[in-house]
Amino acid sequence: MSSAEPTRRDFLYIATASVSAVGAAAAAWPLIAQMNPDASTIAAGAPIEVDLGPIASGQVIKVFWRGKPIYISHRTKEEITEARDVDVASLPDPEPDEKRVKPGHEEWQVLIGICTHLGCIPIAHQGDYKGYFCPCHGSQYDTSGRIRRGPAPANLALPPYEFVSNTKIRIG
Amino acid sequence: MSGQSTYKPQNAALRWLERRLPIGGLIHSSFVAYPTPRNLNYWWTFGGILAFMLAVQIVTGIVLAMHYTPHVDYAFNSVEQIMRDVNYGWLLRYLHSNGASMFFLAAYIHAFRGMYYGSYKEPREVLWILGVILLLLMIMTGFMGYVLPWGQMSFWAATVITNLFSAIPGVGDSIVTWLWGGFAVGNPTLNRFYSLHYLLPFVIAGVVVLHIWALHVAGQNNPTGVEPQSDKDTVAFTPYATIKDSFGLAVFMILLAWFVFYIPNYLGHPDNYIPANPSVTPTHIVPEWYYLPFYAILRAIPSKLGGVIALASSIVILAFLPWLDTSRVRSGRYRPLYRFFFWIFVLVCIGLGYLGSQPPEGIYVITARVLTTYYFVHFLIILPLLGVFETTSPVPSSISADVLKSKASVAAILLAVGLVTLLGTSSSSVAAEADTPPMNKWSFAGPFGKFDRAQLQRGFRVYREVCQTCHGIQLLSFRNLSEPGGPGFTPAQVAAVAAEYKYKEPNDQGDMVERNGRPADHFPPPMLRFPTGTPPDLSVIVKARGYERGFPGFVIDMFTQYQEHGADYVVALLKGYENPPAGAELAPGTMYNKYFPGHGIAMPPPLSDGRVMYTDGSPQTLDQYAKDVTAFLAWAAEPHLEARKRMGMQVVIFLIVLSGLLYFTKKKVWRAVPGHA
């Protein structure tokens, strides 16, 4: 081959450069993937079961799932009424209480206890709405965990969970 | 970095930057326009290879540091967690550990090349001395990195090497205590070694910048040793040197990949898979292969202080090489006598490396003393005298006039083979005390090896019914049993197995309550406890045991990928119980085992025909049990073996294709240079 055959020469250069680029990209992948959760962390994040039996009416307990605090609130009748008597449309993040609990289990409110503002942990049974109060920047949530006042943009999130029996839930 | 740059960027933004910070011009003049002698051979590509290896070590090292725990209680297990759980962790760790070896291999070739072609001579003395400083920094960094996994070899390497300083009269002991941060090697030592192991590579990178700066001031040496005189003698660094270095690097990466993917533990020591134990020294401790020549020099001197001085001198003397070599002719190509002594010196270094791996007794000590003496005689007597007495052959007037195209000489190949042999000596270093275990046929051996799922399941049954009473496998979790590349149990089977084990945990009131095991749990410690000593955990036992292969076996193993020493040893041990031969003395409470080092083993024969029920119709014999449980333990020690070999094939094929493309691209680029095919 001589330089009189530009297409073949160009092809060789392009092929070499492309194969090198593919190799570099493939080599970068393990360096990126290693920062994702490792196998033991993923395994430790398996679903957990929580026995609701010992939780008295009006009591809120905190359990941990995947390193996140999960609030399980055994709501009183008054708390449920309070949560349902609100004009949903007037809320900053409108959502009816019915959608935030499992049907037939209205007294059980399960929430991810992380403020939707910047990730602090709100304190249960505090604030003007007797729900949750975040001490960091003053966000106030009601007994359904909905944002009512303060800088937080959204209601407290709900973890995936289901009732295994009437007194036991599986989170995850 | 030399001369006025002619770099004129086309892009307006780059022109704006160039007027304020001429970094483009610096890069252009250093790595593009920089004139490089046109006659450089492939021995000159090792500079680029070294820069690449330093980058690999720094990048993989930073990543490993994200997962490693520098604490005596967690270091060993955190390394194992990297190997087992971190995404691609096994790849990153094997790259780092074998990368260190390849880094040293390239550094030694680079240094020998400098010696052969007289690259240290005026005006390149500072360049050479910076190289010696780099070697010294590499030695320190490599040593401290080897301590981090906190295995037996790590611990005792730390102890022995720090104790070198105790030879200093008067203040030695205070210095050692200061180095340790305690009264023995311990947690403070590990912590500071970790910190320094992270720091020193960046110091190396800084000195590399000085090294390259000095190189670009003096210009590169070349095989003729004659300085370039005109533009006809040089070519531009880019594309000519760049493409040639790239090809050399791609070929070198095939070697690295071979070690990483197929024989990743070949250069290591089985003992370093045993967690550090400050109360027991391994019977035969040796450093990594790249320190062996220096280690042999240390041991050759029958005096503590003398040995340390000899060790230090053997490295420091290199810095004086520019003045010890008195010859006015630079390149060994025109110095027939020097060439002869150069190759003798190479053989002496390799010989010292071999001796460093052997026990310090008998003929080995005497030979080591002879070779150590020669090592210093080479520098202090031969080199100074050669300059006076040697008749050199005519040196060409210029690089262009040098039509002699030296093909790769036999001697050069000898150097390569010699260094590779030296790589191998480390694995031949375990003292032969017992009989050699017979080799078995393993489904997981070789480049396409895979575990036999049914065999792993049977092996797990043997482990559970026999071994687990006394031996744990605590690095394993139940979930591993259903993960790809393993015994292939279903998640439901795994959950059922896990539930058979009980764990005690504190509840929210602080009381200890029992719960069933879950797939995420690690296997619990063994049920039986012994007052006389804990039987070893079996999680990595197959990698923590081995036997001496001897010469030439260890060299052949590099090519045949024989990595199953540990498995063969474990099978032999399980089957090796015999009546003691007449005259054999056994410690009380021990049994005679043909393959156990010292023969007296405390474990009674664990397996016998019919001991475990198999449901798949496999023979219920001692032989079958031994092989099955060993296969299971081989998987336990290396759960990602299948993924490793599979990726190895992809990487090696890729690198061969890349090398081929780079070779033809290189030929095409160099076609423009007259006199090059």
Query: Which residue shows structure tokens 């160009």?
Result: A10
Q: Is the predicted pLDDT of residue B219 greater than 60, yes or no?
A: yes
Q: Do A38 and B664 touch (CB under 8 A)?
A: no
Cα atoms in the 13 Å half-sphere on the side-chain side of B216:
20
**CA–CA dist A124, A77 (Å, integer):** 17
- For residue B432, the model assigns a pLDDT of 45
- Cβ <8 Å between A46 and B81: no
Looking at the DSSP bridge assignments, the partners of residue A108 are A74
Residue B433 has pLDDT above 50, yes or no: no
Cα–Cα dist A100/A112, whole Å: 12
For residue B554, which of B365, B410, B363, B357 has the smallest C-alpha distance? Answer: B357
Using the beta-carbon criterion (under 8 Å), do A34 and B662 form an inter-chain contact? no
Structure tokens at A78: 């008054």
Q: Which chain A residues are closer than 8 Å to B92 by Cβ?
A: 30-31, 34
Query: Nearest CA to A141 among A76, A73, A48, A57?
Result: A73
Q: How far is A10 from chain B (nearest CA, A)?
A: 10
Instruction: Find the helix or strand (DSSP H, E) in which B516 lies.
Output: strand B512-516
- B chain contacts of residue A33, beta-carbon cutoff 8 Å: 87-88
CA angle B42, B48, B51 (to 5 degrees): 150
Q: Lowest-pLDDT range, A101-110, B73-82, B257-266, B499-508?
A: B499-508
SS3 B543: helix
Of A32, A40, A50, which to mutate for an interface test with B (greatest number of B Cβ within 10 Å)? A40
Cβ B138 vs Cβ B108: under 8 Å: no
* B81–A44 CB contact, under 8 Å: no
What are the structure tokens assigned to A107, written together? Answer: 């007294």
Which residue of B69, B79, B88 to mutate against A (max A Cβ within 10 Å)? B88
Cβ-nearest to B81 among A23, A30, A40: A40
d(CA B570, CA B405): 54
Active site residue A117: no
- In the predicted model, what is the mean pLDDT of chain B? 92
Is a pLDDT exceeding 60 seen at residue A4? Answer: no
Query: Can you state the percent helix, strand and coil of chain A, rounding each to 5?
Result: 30, 25, 50
Q: Is B81 on the interface with A (CB under 8 A)?
A: yes
Pairing of strands B512-516, B502-506: antiparallel
- What does the pLDDT read at residue B327? 95
- B268-321 per-position pLDDT tens digit: 999 999 999 999 999 888 999 999 999 999 999 999 999 999 999 999 999 999
Distance from CA of B83 to the nearest CA of A (A): 11
User: From CA A75, how far away is CA A132, in angstroms rounded?
Assistant: 13
CB-closest option in B63, B658, B661 to A34 = B63
Task: Give which of A104, A143, A101 is closest to A122, Cα–Cα.
Answer: A143
Q: How close A64 gets to chain B, by Cα (Å)?
A: 12
Q: Which residue of A has its CA nearest to B56?
A: A27
**Does B503 touch chain A if contact means CB atoms closer than 8 Å?**
no
Count Cα neighbours of B354 within 13 Å in the Cβ-side half-sphere: 19
**Model confidence band, residue A108 (pLDDT cutoffs 50, 70, 90):** very high
Taking an 8 Å cut-off on Cβ atoms, the answer to whether A12 and B664 are in contact is yes
Q: Which residues of A52-79 are buried (b: 16+ CB within 10 A; e: fewer)?
A: beebeeeebbebebbeeebbbbbbeeeb
B479/A39 Cβ within 8 A: yes
What is the rounded average pLDDT of the residues B228-234? 90
Averaged pLDDT, A53-79: 94
Any idea which residue has 């100074």 for tokens? B384
Measure in Å the smallest separation between the Cα of B658 and chain A Cα atoms. 7
Q: What is the DSSP string of B581-607?
A: PTT----TT-EEBSSSTTSEESS----
How close is the nearest chain B Cα to the Cα of A167, in Å?
19
Q: Do B657 and A19 touch (CB under 8 A)?
A: yes
What would the DSSP string read from start to end of B309-376? HHHHHHHHGGGGHHHH---S---GGG-HHHHHHHHHHHHHHHHHHHHHHS-SSTHHHHHHHHHHHHHH
User: Which among B396, B413, B325, B346 has a CA at the least distance from the CA of B37?
Assistant: B396
Structure tokens at B220: 């590169």
Q: What is the pLDDT of residue B568?
A: 97
What pLDDT, on a 0 to 100 scale, did the predictor assign at position B553?
84
Say whether B87 and A9 touch across the interface (CB within 8 A). Answer: no
Per-residue pLDDT reduced to its tens digit, B591-631: 999 999 889 999 999 999 999 999 999 999 999 999 999 99
Q: Residue B616: is it exposed, middle or buried by C-beta count within 10 angstroms (0-12/13-18/19+)?
A: exposed
Q: Which residue numbers of A have CB closer than 8 Å to B's CBs?
A: 1, 9, 12-13, 15-16, 19-20, 23, 26, 30-31, 33-36, 38-41, 43-44, 46
Does B89 sit within 8 Å of A34, measured CB to CB?
yes
CB atoms within 10 A of CB A100: 18
**Shortest Cα distance, chain A CAs vs residue B662, angstroms:** 6
Q: Does B445 touch chain A (CB under 8 A)?
A: no
Q: Does B59 touch chain A (CB under 8 A)?
A: yes
- Inform me whether the pLDDT recorded for A29 exceeds 70: yes
**What pLDDT sits at residue B1?**
42
Order of strands across the sheet with A161-165? A48-51, A168-171, A161-165
The reply to whether residue B88 touches residue A30, judged by beta carbons under 8 angstroms, is yes
Give yes or no for residue B431 having a pLDDT over 80.
Answer: no
Q: Which residues of A touch B483 (CB under 8 A)?
A: 39
Q: Which chain B residues are closer than 8 Å to A38 by Cβ?
A: 67, 81, 85-87, 89
Tell me: pLDDT of A1 over 50.
Answer: no
Angle (CA) A84 A86 A92, round 5°: 120
d(Cα B146, Cα B97) in Å, to the nearest integer?
8
Q: Which pLDDT score is estimated for B228?
A: 93
Q: How far apart are CA B609 and CA B626, in angstroms?
A: 10
> Could you tell me if B85 lies within 8 Å of chain A, comparing CB atoms?
yes
Q: Does B74 touch chain A (CB under 8 A)?
A: no
Provide, as residue numbers in chain B, all residues whose Cβ is less than 8 Å from the Cβ of A34: 63, 66-67, 86-89, 92
B238 Cα to chain A: minimum distance (Å)? 14
Q: What average pLDDT does the segment B445-457 reach?
A: 96
Q: Please answer yes or no on whether B89 and A38 come within 8 Å at the CB atom.
A: yes
What is the total residue count of chain A?
Answer: 172
Between B589 and B374, the higher pLDDT residue: B374
Exposed (0-12), middle (13-18) or buried (19+): which is B505, by Cβ within 10 Å?
Answer: exposed
Residues of A with Cβ-Cβ distance to B668 under 8 angstroms? 1, 9, 12
Instruction: Decide: B329 and B395 in contact? Cβ < 8 Å.
Output: yes
Q: Which residue of A has its CA nearest to B64?
A: A34
User: In this complex, do A19 and B658 lie within 8 Å of one another by their Cβ atoms?
Assistant: yes
B654 touches A at CB < 8 Å:
yes
Q: For residue B282, what are its two tokens? A: 């391994």
How many Å apart are CA B96 and CA B260, to the nearest integer? Answer: 9
The conformational region for residue B466 under phi > 0 = left, psi -120 to 50 = alpha, else beta, is alpha
pTM higher than 0.90:
yes
CA angle (A95 as vertex; A92, A97 as ends), nearest 5? 125
Instruction: Write down the H helix ranges in B67-124.
Output: 75-84, 89-116
Adjacent-strand bridge partners of B600: B592
Minimum-distance CB partner of B86 among A15, A38, A46: A38
pLDDT in tens, B109-132: 999 999 999 999 999 999 999 999
| Residue B532 scores a pLDDT above 80 | no
Task: Label each residue of B177-212 as H, E or C.
Answer: HHHHCCCCCCHHHHHHHHHHHHHHHHHHHHHHHHHH
Phi, psi of A170 (to 5 degrees): -115, 120
- CB-closest option in B518, B658, B665 to A12: B665
SS3 state at A88: helix
Q: Identify which of A9, A31, A44 has the shortest CB distance to residue B668.
A: A9
Instruction: Tell me the chain A residues in contact with residue B662 when contact means C-beta distances shorter than 8 Å.
Output: 16
Confidence at B404, pLDDT banded by 50, 70, 90: very low
Q: Determine, for residues A30 and B477 on separate chains, whether the beta-carbon distance falls below 8 Å.
A: no
Distance CA B644, CA B622 (A): 31
A19, A31, A38: residue with CB nearest B59: A31
B647 touches chain A (CB under 8 A): no
CA distance B32 to B49: 18
From the candidates A105, A117, A125, A137, give the one annotated as an active-site residue. Answer: A137
B662 to chain A, any CB pair closer than 8 A? The answer is yes
Q: Is the peptide bond before B487 cis (omega within 30 degrees of 0)?
A: no
Instruction: Note the pLDDT of residue B135.
Output: 98
Tell me how crowded residue B612 is: count the other CB atoms within 10 A of its CB.
18
What's phi and psi for B264, nearest 5 deg? -65, -25
Q: Which of residues 194-253 of B touch A (CB under 8 A)?
A: 246
* Contacting residues for B200 by C-beta, under 8 A, at least 6 apart: B137, B140, B141, B144
Rounded-to-integer distance, Cα B449 and Cα B561, Å: 11
- pLDDT for B675: 73
Are the CB atoms for B677 and B663 separated by under 8 Å?
no
Share of chain B above pLDDT 70, in %: 95
Residues of chain A contacting B93 with CB distance shorter than 8 Å: none
- Rg (alpha carbons) of chain A, rounded to whole number: 26
